[in-house]
Amino acid sequence: MIKTTPEIEISLLLEALFQKYGYDFRQYSRAHIARRISNRMILSNIKTITEIQEKILHDNSFASQLLQDLSITVTEMFRDPSFYLMVREKVIPILKTYSFIKIWHAGCSTGEEAYSMAILLKEEGLYDRATIYATDFNQAALHQAKEGIFAAQDMKEYTSNYQKGGGKESLSEYYTSQYNRVIMDTSLKKNIVWANHNLVTDSVFAEVHLILCRNVLIYFNKDLQNRVQKLFFESLINGGILCLGSKESLRFSDFATSYHELDKKQRIFKKKYNGLS
């Protein structure tokens, strides 16, 4: 099949990025990649995608810039408050039956949602027996997540999200303000393990009770989505819980029938015994 020039250029660029640096975006949704590349071309005044390829092969700092362009995803605390309400209502009672709880937050980016989960677990009295593995392949984002420093201007929206999501205290209980930034309380960080893990190329690293991976899979094509779903399925204990983003589903994966729907609207799934009905 004949492809357009930009399509060919993007394929070659992603191949070069993979061969030279090991970061594999080849199975990412092409429309996103095209958009981010075209933003970079405007910012850096670059005329063609081929020129970007030339630059990433010969200029390491430009390559790391492009990696950030391709990987940054926007996140917020208590994004989709009704999801957090449903976690409190339907997921927490199940987690309470375990003496220790392992949670994998896959694709945690700069950590806002991992801190949200830590706060929720605290309020539900489960934090001390929980470990949150918060992973991402983007080292810069992970570093920021670990620091737990966020812009003060976002806190108004996060507070509103937190309250709509069933928050029991005041969100400001969990951070200290300094000038235009806030620092998350160290007690929230105690049981969070920040780790580099790439959903595209890495394998299962732990057996967990709960996986959160929200608004990450939408950036992947069907084949890659399926690979990641396999990873999740193999990581979850029987009866373990999988939480996806509000527009994500198991529909196109091999695991559509391997879970019960715990909450259809919020995309919360419970793994069947060995995936069998």
Q: Which of 218, 226, 227, 272 lies at the binding interface for another protein (CB under 8 A)?
A: 218
Nearest in space to 228 (alpha carbons), one of 101, 106, 75 = 106
Taking the C-alpha atoms of residue 101 and residue 116, their distance in angstroms, rounded to an integer, is 16
Taking the C-alpha atoms of residue 269 and residue 249, their distance in angstroms, rounded to an integer, is 10
Please say which residue, 7 or 173, places its beta carbon nearer to another protein: 7
Residue 248 interacts with another protein (CB under 8 A): yes or no = yes
Size of interface with another protein, in residues (CB under 8 A): 24
Residue 7 interacts with another protein (CB under 8 A): yes or no = yes
Residue 29 interacts with another protein (CB under 8 A): yes or no = yes
Residue 151 interacts with another protein (CB under 8 A): yes or no = no
Residue 203: CB minimum distance to another protein, A: 24
Instruction: State the alpha helices, DSSP H only, in the chain.
Output: 5-21, 30-43, 49-58, 60-71, 81-86, 92-95, 112-123, 139-147, 155-164, 186-189, 222-235
Residue 247 interacts with another protein (CB under 8 A): yes or no = yes
Please say which residue, 37 or 101, places its beta carbon nearer to another protein: 37
What does the per-residue mask of binding to another protein show for 82-111, with x meaning CB under 8 A?
Answer: ------------------------------
Do residues 31 and 42 make contact, with C-beta atoms less than 8 angstroms apart? no
Q: Give the binding range for another protein (CB under 8 A) out of 18-26, 53-61, 183-191, 240-248.
A: 240-248
Q: How much of the chain is in helix, strand and coil states, percent to nearest 5? A: 50, 20, 30
At CA 88, angle to CA 85 and CA 92, rounded to 5? 155
Please say which residue, 109 or 135, places its beta carbon nearer to another protein: 109
Residue 35 interacts with another protein (CB under 8 A): yes or no = yes
Please say which residue, 39 or 60, places its beta carbon nearer to another protein: 39
Nearest in space to 150 (alpha carbons), one of 126, 116, 197, 194 = 116
What does the per-residue mask of binding to another protein show for 42-81, with x meaning CB under 8 A?
Answer: -------------------------------xxx------
Residue 4: CB minimum distance to another protein, A: 8
b vs e for 40-73, b when ≥16 Cβ sit within 10 Å of the residue's Cβ?
A: beeeeebeebeebbebbbeeeebbebbbebbbee
Residue 165: CB minimum distance to another protein, A: 12
Taking the C-alpha atoms of residue 241 and residue 236, their distance in angstroms, rounded to an integer, is 7
Residue 252 interacts with another protein (CB under 8 A): yes or no = yes
Nearest in space to 73 (alpha carbons), one of 176, 250, 202, 220 = 220
Tokens of 72: 């940054």
Q: Which of 26, 30, 55, 146 lies at the binding interface for another protein (CB under 8 A)?
A: 30
Residues of the shown chain interacting with another protein in the complex, contacts defined by CB under 8 A: 3-4, 6-7, 29-32, 34-35, 38, 73-75, 215, 218-219, 222, 225, 245, 247-249, 252
